[in-house]
C-alpha cells in the first residue's frame, strides 16, 4: 500500500510488499513486524521529503508536490492491494470493496500495531460518503512542526481510489471545494467522482478523512 517497489527489496530490507500478504497468512507475527518496518521507513521518507520541500519552495508548493508524489506512488502500487484482497477471498472493484478490505485489515492489525504507535484507521460509511478516523494521529502531531505532512493521508487515499479506476481529487482543505466547483463549472477541470479531505472540525490529535462525491451548488 505504501511503496512503489514490489519484487526487488534491497539487501537487508526483508520481504517485498507482494510477499507480505502471503507471510501474513502463514506467520502473522513475522508479517506484522515487517509491516512495521515498511510503514516506519515510508513515513520517515515522506517526512524527509516534506521537510526538504517545505524549506525549499514554501508551504503551498510543497503541499502540491508532496501530495501529487504520494498519490502517484500509491496508485502505481495498487496491485498490492488487489493481492491483499485476493488473499482474503475478496474482490476489489468498488469503494465499498476497498473500505471492506480496510475493515478486515483494522480487525487484524489494531491490537498489534496500536501499541507500537502506528495508528490504524477505523472506516465507515454515511450515505454515499465514507470516512476513516483515528483517535490519535501521529501525523497531526507532526503537522504542528511540519504542516506539509497533513496532505499525506488524503493523497494516499486519493491514490487508492484512482487505483480502482475512479477520478479522485485530494484537497489540502475543505475550503478548496468552492474553488474546485468553479473550476469544474467553467470547464477548466474535469469533474472528479470523489474528493478527499481532512475534516477540520475534528480536534487534533484525532483525525478524520472524508471521501465523498463532489457536491456543487447549482
Which helix or strand (DSSP H or E) is residue 123 part of? Answer: strand 122-126
Cβ-Cβ contacts under 8 Å for 159 (sequence gap 6 or more): 70, 71, 72, 73, 74, 75, 78, 168
| Strand-pair category, 194-198 with 122-126 | unpaired
* Domain annotation covers residue 12: no
* Domain annotation covers residue 185: yes
DSSP 46-59: HHHHHHHHHHHH-H
Match 527489496 to its residue by C-alpha cell. 9
Question: In the predicted model, is pLDDT for residue 157 greater than 60?
Answer: yes
Mean pLDDT lowest for which of 20-29, 92-101, 182-191? 20-29
* Domain annotation covers residue 124: yes
Res. 24 pLDDT band, cuts 50 70 90: low
* Domain annotation covers residue 27: yes
* Domain annotation covers residue 9: no
* Domain annotation covers residue 5: no
Cβ-Cβ contacts under 8 Å for 53 (sequence gap 6 or more): 61, 62, 65, 66, 148
Upper half-sphere CA count for residue 131 (Cβ side, 13 Å)? 11
Q: What is the pTM of this model?
A: 0.80
* Domain annotation covers residue 217: no
- Measured between alpha carbons, how far is 84 from 88 in angstroms, rounded to an integer? 7
Q: Which structural domain, as residue segments, surrounds residue 80?
A: 17-212
Phi, psi of 192, deg, nearest 5: -75, 155
* Domain annotation covers residue 183: yes
Q: What is the CATH number of the domain that holds 186?
A: 3.30.1380.20
pLDDT of residue 7: 31
43-57 pLDDT, tens per residue? 788 889 999 999 999
- Domain tally for the chain? 1
Question: In the predicted model, is pLDDT for residue 129 greater than 60?
Answer: yes
Average pLDDT, the chain: 81
The neighbouring-strand residues paired with 170 are 196
- pLDDT: which is higher, 100 or 199: 199
Amino acid at each position: 500500500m505504501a511503496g512503489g517497489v514490489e519484487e526487488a527489496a534491497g539487501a537487508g530490507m526483508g520481504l517485498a510488499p507482494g510477499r507480505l500478504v502471503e507471510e501474513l497468512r502463514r506467520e502473522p507475527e513475522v508479517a506484522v513486524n515487517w509491516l512495521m518496518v515498511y510503514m516506519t521507513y515510508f513515513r520517515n521518507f515522506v517526512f524527509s521529503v516534506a521537510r526538504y520541500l517545505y524549506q525549499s519552495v514554501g508551504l503551498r508548493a510543497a503541499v502540491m508536490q508532496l501530495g501529487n508524489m504520494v498519490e502517484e506512488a500509491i496508485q502505481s502500487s495498487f496491485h498490492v492491494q488487489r493481492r491483499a484482497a485476493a488473499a482474503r477471498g475478496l474482490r476489489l472493484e468498488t469503494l465499498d470493496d476497498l473500505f471492506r478490505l480496510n475493515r478486515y485489515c483494522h480487525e487484524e492489525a489494531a491490537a498489534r500495531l496500536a501499541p507500537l504507535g502506528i495508528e490504524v484507521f477505523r472506516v465507515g460509511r454515511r450515505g454515499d460518503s465514507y470516512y476513516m478516523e483515528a483517535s490519535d494521529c501521529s501525523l497531526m502531531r507532526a503537522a504542528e512542526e511540519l504542516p506539509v505532512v497533513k496532505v499525506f493521508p488524503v493523497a494516499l487515499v486519493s491514490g487508492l481510489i484512482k487505483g480502482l479506476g475512479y477520478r479522485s481529487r485530494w484537497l489540502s482543505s475543505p475550503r478548496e471545494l468552492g474553488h474546485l466547483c468553479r473550476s469544474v463549472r467553467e470547464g477548466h477541470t474535469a469533474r472528479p467522482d470523489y474528493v478527499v479531505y481532512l475534516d477540520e472540525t475534528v480536534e487534533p490529535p484525532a483525525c478524520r478523512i472524508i471521501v465523498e462525491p463532489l457536491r456543487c451548488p447549482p
